[in-house]
Structure 1
Amino acid sequence: MSSVLYDVPGPRARVRNLVLGAITVLVVAAIFGVVVWRLAATGQFDAQKWSIFTYTRPWLLLLEGLGATLAAFVVAAIGALILGFVLAVGRLSDHAWVRVPVGWITEILRAIPVLIFMMLLYYGLPVLGVRMDPYWAVVIALIAYNGSVLAEAIRAGVESLPRGQKEAGYAVGLRKNEVMRLILLPQAVRAMMPVIISQLVVALKDTALGFIITYPELLHYIQLLGGQVPFGTPLVPTAIVGGSIYVALCLLLSYVAYRVEKRTRRSPKAARLDPGDGGDVTTATERIAVQRGVGKFDGTYQGPQL
């Protein structure tokens, strides 16, 4: 018995997969046990190291750092999405004088590491007589790098769509910007949503690089609390607590993205833009044309020659 994508495993294959799965679980559990054992052996679970979290001040510092992290991430995420759309549209332009420079800008921004970009903005600009606040150095660096990566993801999503999507839009009289805005981009964003969310998670974690340029975000306070000698220098306990906060933020962002993606798939507007299972491309495009007052598809190609 077989399916479209693979052969259904038989009795021997099922037993083999079960054995491999059990071995994998045992290996992971053994590694986890060794890590816990070494932490306990080195005194990382001592009450003295964890007693720092019985006071209010450390939690207030962590909340302050969390607020600074979110403040940088929200602005950087919005800016990266805007920059990503602008660069993606520029790279998809039919005009070489737009496409080529935008392509070079995108590649250069992707090639510069985020930390080096932050250091150039914070430590390099004062040499030229311009001083920048650490917050804006972090935000601008995150926008530049993540925006260029998102631009490539969006461009790949648009180019992966069937050619008939674009041709049907031109055939019903839609202009080029309307074809891109109403037909191609909505479908590309839905298709590349997992990649977009993954890159936003990367942007969230990269805010931790701000502590190198003195931005007081979450990692800054984790390092500060971990160096408290009266509590036995609790580096590992503070790292565990701080890491748990980062994990919770990433999981929350992934859940929000999942709900947004699920809602867009159910929305009537998404249904109009997507031809659906076995649907006709021209039918979905014709609905958009009628809504825009362009007219009805008559089978005559009215767009530019492709």
Structure 2
Amino acid sequence: MNQTQQILFDEPGPRARRRIRIATVLGAVAVAAGVAWAVHQFGRYGELAAERWQPFTTWPIWRYLLDGLWATVRAAAATAVLSAALGLLLALGRLSERRPLRWLAAAYVEVFRTVPVLLLIYVTLFALPQYGINFSLFWKLVVPLVVANAAAFAEIFRAGILALDRGQTEAGLAVGLRRGQVMRLVVLPQALLRLAPSLVSQLVGLLKDTSLGFVVSYTELLYSGQVLSTYTHLLIQTFLVIALIYLAVNASLSKVARVLQARNGRPTRRRTGAPEPEAPLLISGGTAR
């Protein structure tokens, strides 16, 4: 395990790896048995009949589902951008030398990491309108997700910044940069590069959280599936298709995270195959030579 992978968790030992392998095998066997039993039951009650799947071979059905997927992507993208921006500010606040700012940022993170997202959605749906704050359906979903996910992003950013060698900051201060400039020009670029896999992985959970849009009647993918199943009376088929769509999208994001993780852990080489020269002072993490 390289340094990038050790930012948020420790490397498991031999016993832990053995337990992980055993748990993985048992889990795979359990999942396979569950899938086999489900397929058997579906076939027994006629749910696998061709006529019950025929509607999903038509374009109008898929266009409706893709519209729901697009609404899901829009909500997830808006939440990701705003959560990351607010999370970065909170992480910098927790690392600030000003004690009141540290306390406020820490209080926000600790509170909203424990409050359920569904409760925050209920606040925007029922409580805020009583005080004249009434968002559109889109923002009734996005605002609670931003409030909750900003705390998670803050901890990811803070862990990445603290994982960097202190020599980075000391070298920047030594060449005359102010502390804010060191953070902006030296520390943050390296932390963001190392944290890219973790940030992408966070997007997977964020995308799944958008399924709570059914609470506010926002027509994301899951809510679109509920409406479609009511219209077609194909409950099992509809939600199996939606599950496959979620699986495809989240698997793609997970693949991106693995690729970024592999690239961050791979040593950089010149195109000629010769090793790279030593990095400059502000990138190497070492002391002046």
CA distance 1:86–1:286, shift in 2 (3 Å): closer
Give the conservation status (yes or no) of the 8 Å contact 1:122–1:133. Answer: no
Name the TM-score, length of structure 2 as normaliser.
0.79
Between the two proteins, the alignment pairs up a number of residues equal to 268
1:245, 1:59 → 2: CA distance? Answer: 11
1:193, 1:19 → 2: CA distance? Answer: 30
Give the conservation status (yes or no) of the 8 Å contact 2:200–2:256. Answer: no
Map of 1:153 onto structure 2: 156
Letter in 1 for 2:186: I
1:52, 1:144 → 2: CA distance? Answer: 39
1:264, 1:152 → 2: CA distance? Answer: 20
- Once the two structures are TM-superposed, the CA of residue 227 in structure 1 deviates from its matched residue by 2.3
- Once the two structures are TM-superposed, the CA of residue 195 in structure 1 deviates from its matched residue by 2.2
CA distance 1:195–1:263, shift in 2 (3 Å): closer
2:29, 2:261 → 1: CA distance? Answer: 36
Give the conservation status (yes or no) of the 8 Å contact 1:190–1:261. Answer: no
Q: How does 1:1-306 map to 2 (within 5 A)?
A: 28-228=31-231, 231=232, 233-258=233-258, 283-285=280-282
1:25, 1:102 → 2: CA distance? Answer: 41
CA distance 1:111–1:240, shift in 2 (3 Å): same
1:184-243 residue CA offsets vs partner (Å, 9 max, x unmatched):
222222333332112111111111101111111111111112223xx5x32111111111
Give the conservation status (yes or no) of the 8 Å contact 2:65–2:221. Answer: yes
Give the conservation status (yes or no) of the 8 Å contact 2:95–2:102. Answer: yes
Give the conservation status (yes or no) of the 8 Å contact 1:172–1:298. Answer: no
- Once the two structures are TM-superposed, the CA of residue 183 in structure 1 deviates from its matched residue by 2.1
1:34, 1:213 → 2: CA distance? Answer: 35
Q: Which of 1 and 2 has greater Rg?
A: 1
1:150, 1:169 → 2: CA distance? Answer: 26
CA RMSD in angstroms comes to 3.6
- Once the two structures are TM-superposed, the CA of residue 254 in structure 1 deviates from its matched residue by 3.1
Letter in 2 for 1:284: L
CA distance 1:89–1:6, shift in 2 (3 Å): closer
Map of 1:10 onto structure 2: none
- Once the two structures are TM-superposed, the CA of residue 165 in structure 1 deviates from its matched residue by 2.2
2:229, 2:68 → 1: CA distance? Answer: 14
Partner SS state of residue 205, structure 1 = helix
Q: Percent identity?
A: 35
CA distance 1:241–1:187, shift in 2 (3 Å): same
1:55, 1:63 → 2: CA distance? Answer: 13
Q: Which runs of 5+ in 2 are unaligned?
A: 1-11, 15-20
- Once the two structures are TM-superposed, the CA of residue 161 in structure 1 deviates from its matched residue by 1.9
2:95, 2:23 → 1: CA distance? Answer: 46
